[in-house]
Amino acid sequence: MTTKILIAGFGGQGVLFAGKAIAKMGMDKDMQVSWLPSYGPEMRGGTANCSVIISDDEEIGSPIVNIPDILFSFNIQSFEKFESTVAPGGILFADSTLISKKSDRTDIKAFYIPATELASKNDLQGGANVIMLGKFVAESGLFDKDEFIDHMVSSIPATKAKLIANNRKAFDIGYNYKD
């Protein structure tokens, strides 16, 4: 099965990091993976997005995700731009702190997580992306929870214990969040 994921928001929201965490997890599970960021001047303060493709049975063709099976949307601009492109049967994860709209599509599953608010309430500044990853792992069924979180923090040096703890906490908040 091949899963196409699009993660979109502002530069600085950890969009690229979230994509990398998924791609790296896939790679270490011996899946085919690709990660392609948008690049150029728009990355400096403007919109940022990345295409992530993971597959357990076929070579990855185009690394660009035009029709995502899973969309992460971190701002209203990306919601308006990409919500309609989600494949039927796909999943939308939206940060509802920053996106007041709701999708009126009935052919996709949509989850609204106030990730930015949850992050600041729990003293996890910059942790909205990991909160969203937690929800993604809970709802997508693609990865095992513990495996994902252990793997994600494994790239953080052990000396940064606080950062590791914060990431674990953020992930759990997202994983357990119910609308």
List residues near other proteins by CB under 8 A. Answer: 20, 23-24, 27, 33-37, 39-40, 58-64, 66
Nearest approach in angstroms of CB 58 to other proteins is: 8
Question: What are the structure tokens assigned to 94, written together?
Answer: 């939206």
Angle at 138 between CA 81 and CA 142, to 5 degrees: 80
The CA distance from 166 to 158, in Å, is: 13
Beta strands in 70-126 (DSSP E): 70-73, 91-95, 109-113
CB atoms within 10 A of CB 142: 20
Decide whether 23 or 99 has the Cβ nearer to other proteins.
Answer: 23
Decide whether 33 or 137 has the Cβ nearer to other proteins.
Answer: 33
**Beta strands 32-37 and 47-55, pairing class:** antiparallel
CB 151 within 8 A of CB 25: yes
Nearest approach in angstroms of CB 154 to other proteins is: 13
| Ramachandran angles phi, psi of 132, nearest 5° | -65, -35
Nearest approach in angstroms of CB 26 to other proteins is: 9
Nearest approach in angstroms of CB 33 to other proteins is: 6
Nearest approach in angstroms of CB 66 to other proteins is: 5
Decide whether 24 or 109 has the Cβ nearer to other proteins.
Answer: 24
Decide whether 5 or 115 has the Cβ nearer to other proteins.
Answer: 5
Decide whether 58 or 146 has the Cβ nearer to other proteins.
Answer: 58
Q: Where are the alpha helices (H) located in the chain, listed in sequence order? A: 15-28, 76-82, 115-121, 128-140, 145-154, 161-176
The CA distance from 14 to 44, in Å, is: 13
Decide whether 39 or 107 has the Cβ nearer to other proteins.
Answer: 39
Nearest approach in angstroms of CB 6 to other proteins is: 14
